[in-house]
Chain A
């Protein structure tokens, strides 16, 4: 369980998050939605201790993120942000392999190699394993970074817009892999999504943010309503139900 309690954040004098509290249960796929600038990335960064906590408390499986040693936390929680820094000439296999760093500190064991091979296969990267990151398309690189997070083998995965740059086929494949992680392996996935139809189709729970606050939280049926979506995005869109699926044509 990720417990967020009374968290506020101010960056350079600008208030970003206002007294945010939420409980994200273990073993669910949780979609974080909301307009640009709502504070989704900031909240994920706080949970992943990429930004120091200023006020309030955040625990992951009972570990306080501001007081747990980084290496210990890295075996419980991972965050995916697409940021290659300087090392553009790493191969996909090397990058994915660094996901094992919290476990093996660079000395790969046979078990590590199994994890790496499984991650490459899962994300359809085996063919690209020898390519360097600077020779990949945006979508391929995105998959490599998610595969690294997957390879880290943590119970909690935080993914900030992992569908960026992915075509329909790989977007769907990514969501199915994540769904599979939750259903078969009991992992917890918190994912920032822009397409509310993906959130409707795959998420167990939706957390909606706006202006640095959580304005709604619950199962898709409860959060994705015409009124609720208007409060978030500022215009009305129809919410259709086809079978047991919600379908929201938001673009006309």
Chain B
């Protein structure tokens, strides 16, 4: 296991790795643009590309990059490698926010719902972070376990409210992420992910220092509390953007930062592009897979990532044990 990991690590050293990653990424984009029920050869191919395939591909890239970055920041906030926005209740809280906004304020614009979702995500994540402070730091796996229960409770609350409000038919669109409904005009909010990624890039050194802990960070002149607040906003906005546009997508934020940490280290200035690209690549690959598995029908992105992600999580946990 370790031998394989180090072989991979040496193979992905520096520029060569970037080149290979770029090739894989371009191939994934090409696959995403060409796979679908409507063939590119019949009808109006350009129209199909512009209205459906390109937006869908862009959405997969933005969602994936955003969730991977959100996971990375979440791990620094929680001081635990085994959480992300789908495990800490952030995405579930965002879904609750959208549901409440839809019920109370049906005429709200997408941006308005997004604001309510972000506020709900912030509250839900802040509560999670307060609650996990009581967990012993010597037992890192208690936090994801607690998070799964916490997220489950919020998701149950979402279902209950939806049932009360007679909105059950909409529920699936938020609780299980799906890119099949993405068309031009329905995903543009996701460009907000780009803004967040740039913000995180700008904060990369401060975030790395924050990940060294409160004492070391403070000693180096970092305003640790402020950093935590900014991180909380970043995670909440990224999760809310994703849930509003495509619905909940699990595991990307958990798997990608852990793999990148093993291969590229923890200096975020160097690791961030890999985290963003890794999240985008994983999401694109899972979306294409979902389109091919039961062709011509589709398996939703959330379902594919649920299976792929759970397997990868188990592998990570085993690897984490083996490396101590």
Contact = CB atoms under 8 A, between A and B. Distances in A.
Nearest to A105: B205
A106 interface: yes
Interface in B244-271: 261-262, 265-267, 269
A106 B204 contact: yes
A85 B204 contact: no
A86 B266 contact: yes
B216 interface: yes
Contact of A106 (B212, B265, B266, B269): B269
Contacts of B262: 89
A132 B216 contact: no
Interface in A100-150: 101-102, 105-106, 132, 134, 149
Contacts of A134: 323
Contacts of A50: 214-215, 218-219
How extensive is the interface on chain A, given as a class?
20 to 34
Contacts of A106: 204-206, 269
Given A98-B220, A152-B220, A89 B205 contact: no
A79 B209 contact: no
A132 B215 CA distance: 20
Given A85-B79, A89-B266, A106-B204, A101 B221 contact: yes
B31 interface: no
A8 interface: no
B220 A102 contact: yes
Interface string A46-58: 0011100000000
A94 interface: yes
Nearest to A45: B215
B219 A87 contact: no
A216 interface: no
Contacts, number: 87
B220 A87 contact: no
Interface string B133-177: 000000000000000000000000000000000000000000000
Interface stretch (A13-21, A66-74, A195-203): A66-74
B221 A84 contact: no
A49 B79 contact: no
Given A90-B208, A90-B266, A84 B213 contact: yes
B216 A85 contact: yes
A213 interface: no
Interface in B192-239: 204-206, 208-209, 211-216, 218-223
Contact of A87 (B80, B204, B208, B221): B208
A102 B221 CA distance: 6
B81 interface: yes
Interface in B49-102: 75-76, 79-81
B265 A85 contact: no
Interface string B88-119: 00000000000000000000000000000000
Contacts of B261: 89
A22 interface: no
B215 A81 contact: yes
Contacts of B218: 48-50, 70
Contacts of A84: 212-213
Contacts of B221: 70-75, 101-102
Given A49-B218, A83-B215, A87-B211, A70 B265 contact: no
Contact of B212 (A72, A75, A85): A85
Interface of A: 45, 48-50, 70-75, 78-81, 83-91, 94, 98-99, 101-102, 105-106, 132, 134, 149, 152
Given A48-B219, A78-B219, A90-B267, 16 more contacts: A45-B215, A49-B218, A74-B219, A74-B220, A79-B215, A84-B213, A85-B213, A86-B79, A86-B211, A86-B212, A91-B265, A94-B265, A101-B220, A102-B221, A106-B206, A152-B220
A-B pairs with lowest CB-CB distance, top 5:
A74-B221, A106-B205, A85-B213, A71-B221, A87-B266
16 contacts: A70-B218, A71-B221, A73-B221, A74-B220, A78-B220, A81-B215, A83-B215, A83-B216, A85-B213, A86-B76, A86-B266, A90-B266, A94-B267, A99-B220, A101-B205, A102-B220
Interface of B: 75-76, 79-81, 204-206, 208-209, 211-216, 218-223, 261-262, 265-267, 269, 323
